[in-house]
Amino acid sequence: MIDVFMNTYHRLPVTFAKGEGTWLFDINGKKYLDFSSGIAVNCLGHAYPPLVRAIAEQAAKFSHVCNYYQSDVSAAFAEKLVEACAAGGMKKLFLANSGAEANEGACKIARKYSLKKYGPGRHRIVSLRGSFHGRTITTLSATGQEKFHRDFGPFTEGFSFIPGGDIEALDKALDQSAVAGLLIEAVQGESGIIPQTQEYIEAAARLCAERDILLMFDEIQCGMGRTGTFLAFEQYRLADGRPLKADIVTLAKGLCGGVPAGAVLAGEKVMDVFESGDHGSTFGGNPLAAAAGLVILKTVSDPAFLREISQKGERIISTIKSWNHAKIENIRGRGLMLGIDIKADAWPILEAAINRAGSGRPGLLLLSAGPKTLRLLPPYTISGAEIDEGLHILKDILNG
Ligand SMILES: *Cc1c(COP(=O)(O)O)cnc(C)c1O
């Protein structure tokens, strides 16, 4: 077969043709239990009937109008999304198509806010080592991982990185005269499922507030209910116990359950920074995505549903801990965003989990996050029996 794709992905040897709930089927009819959700995208599983209906019904009306006009479905989606993020302090939003694009919007808001209030030179955005914020030149500039910084320079200036968890380094880096914003994942995804500590987030919120530096949460992977609260940072508190409010929140991945979409949301302080003509996106707020997003929001903002996400995560953690498996060093995470450090390379495990499929036996779709960490991001709709079946496969594979 002639491969016309550019060689950007290290692909596993499988081509999918169909999905249903937590299951995917390849072109040869082999089946796979999906513990990856397309990297936290298909949060309600594959071909979720209400989602399929909503997209089909919208496609039969219209699938796009340009942003010179408003559409009923995009307006309804925007309103519900702001409502779902209200506890985190969000008041207005801009709709985009991807995570990188949402983070670009966040950086633009931070820079303009600072420029208008303090004049030029106070444009730096601080982020964490190990962070991942996207693949465009600017979002790579914000990504604190050396391996992404080869070959593509010069990068956008005005970004710097600090080690996570180090409050002294944070205090030093948040220079009031140079820094516009702090961009942070409450639970880092790509670098191995690393939740920030309460002390660290508390300090970040305090220092940002004292210095008028924007507190920006990249919830692209950990948001949309993934950790058991609608936004992952809702699990942190201010020093006095009050809930934390962000200045900016970015979302994408699970936002529309598999239809491409991103959003940058803003709190009171920065919600009117963008003026007419400042920003835009042809596909942003696309009606098909919005119709899908309304289904996701309706399900995922229900507190009982969010509690189930946490309980399912706890079931996975307690099962894996009960194995006392010699190859497992550690399991951590929140809700259905879990990292397992193993005493082996992760990639061969991913391959073995795929290759196991055949003769009626299912395969298992796993992710890695770093060379020796397995990452589990199952759909929220996964059943207890499916969790047990997937973990049984995982144990089998670890046993070699
Ligand atoms: C995936 C991801 C992004 C980038 O999103 P794209 O849609 O691939 O541009 C940014 N930040 C985090 C935390 C992510 O997990």
**Which of 4-13, 94-103, 282-291, 333-342 is predicted least confidently?**
4-13
CA of 252 to the centre of ligand 1 (A): 7
Q: How far is the CA of 133 from the centre of ligand 1 (A)?
A: 6
pLDDT at position 248: 99
Label residue 3 by pLDDT band (50, 70, 90): confident
Element housing 329 (H / E) = strand 328-334
Query: Which atom, in ligand 1's list, is nearest to the CA of 262?
Result: 7
Ligand 1 mean position to 220 CA, how many Å?
6
Distance 49 CA to ligand 1 centre (A): 26
- Residue 359 has a pLDDT of 87
Sheet with 248-251, side-by-side order of all strands: 90-96, 262-267, 248-251, 214-218, 179-184, 124-128, 159-162
State which ligand 1 atom lies nearest to the alpha carbon of 190. Answer: 15
Handedness of CA 215, 219, 225, 227 (dihedral sign): negative
- Centroid of ligand 1 to alpha carbon of 221 (angstroms): 7
Radius of gyration of the chain (CA): 21
Q: Which atom of ligand 1 is nearest to the CA of 218?
A: 13
Q: How far is the CA of 360 from the centre of ligand 1 (A)?
A: 35
From the CA of 327, how far away is ligand 1's center (Å)?
30
For residue 239, pLDDT over 90 is answered with yes
Task: Return the residue whose CA atom lies nearest to atom 11 of ligand 1.
Answer: 133
DSSP state of 241: S
333 has pLDDT over 90: yes
Superfamily of domain 304-374+393-400: Aspartate Aminotransferase, domain 1 (3.90.1150.10)
Predicted confidence (pLDDT) per residue in 107-151, tens digit: 999 999 999 999 999 999 999 999 999 999 999 999 999 999 989
**pLDDT score recorded for residue 53:** 98
> What does the block give as tokens for 59?
């496609």
Decide if pLDDT at 384 tops 70.
yes
CA of 183 to the centre of ligand 1 (A): 13
Task: Kindly list the protein residues whose Cβ atom lies closer than 6 A to any atom of ligand 1.
Answer: 98-100, 103, 132-134, 185, 189-190, 218, 220-221, 252-253
Give which of 175, 111, 116 is closest to 138, Cα–Cα.
111
Average of pLDDT values for 167-173? 98
Which of 127, 221, 226, 375 should be mutated for ligand 1, with most atoms under 8 A from CB?
A: 221
253, 255, 281, best to mutate for ligand 1 pocket (most atoms within 8 Å of CB): 253
Element (H, E) at 180: strand 179-184
* Rounded distance from Cα 373 to ligand 1 centre (Å): 19
Residue ID of nearest Cα to ligand 1 atom 8:
99
CATH topology of domain 51-300: Aspartate Aminotransferase; domain 2 (3.40.640)
pLDDT digits (tens, 9 = 90+) for 194-235: 999 999 999 999 999 999 999 999 999 999 999 999 999 999
Return the ligand 1 atom nearest residue 188 CA. Answer: 13
Q: Distance between CA atoms of 21 and 153, rounded to whole angstroms? A: 42
Confidence check: pLDDT of 400 > 90: no
Q: Calculate how far, in angstroms, residue 147's C-alpha sits from the geometric centre of ligand 1.
A: 16
Ligand 1 closest atom vs CA 135: 9
Q: Measured in angstroms, how far is the CA atom of residue 93 from the centroid of ligand 1?
A: 18
How does the average pLDDT of the chain come out, rounded?
97
**CB of 316 within 8 A of CB of 193?**
no
DSSP 345: -
pLDDT over 90 percentage in the chain: 96
State the chain's maximal CA–CA distance in angstroms.
67
- Which one of 39, 132, 375 would you pick to mutate in the ligand 1 pocket, going by the greatest count of ligand atoms within 8 A of its CB? 132
Would you kindly state where each structural domain of the chain is located, as residue ranges? Answer: 51-300, 304-374+393-400
Please determine, for residue 1, whether its predicted confidence score (pLDDT) is greater than 60. no
Q: Which of 41, 107, 133 to mutate to test the pocket of ligand 1 (most atoms within 8 A of CB)?
A: 133
pLDDT in tens, 264-323: 999 999 999 999 999 999 999 999 999 999 999 999 999 999 999 999 999 999 999 999
Residue 2: is its pLDDT beyond 80?
A: no
> Do 265 and 82 touch, CB atoms closer than 8 A?
yes
Give Cα separations from 233 to 76, 106, 185, 197, 277 (angstroms): 25, 17, 8, 11, 31
Which of the 8 DSSP states describes residue 159?
E
Question: Beta 328-334 vs 187-188: how paired, if at all?
Answer: unpaired
Q: Which atom of ligand 1 is nearest to the CA of 221?
A: 15
The pTM of this model reads: 0.98
Distance (Å) from CA 118 to ligand 1 centroid: 30
- Where does residue 160 rank: exposed (0-12), middle (13-18), buried (19+ CB within 10 A)? middle
Task: Give the closest residue to 99 by CA, choosing from 287, 263, 259.
Answer: 263
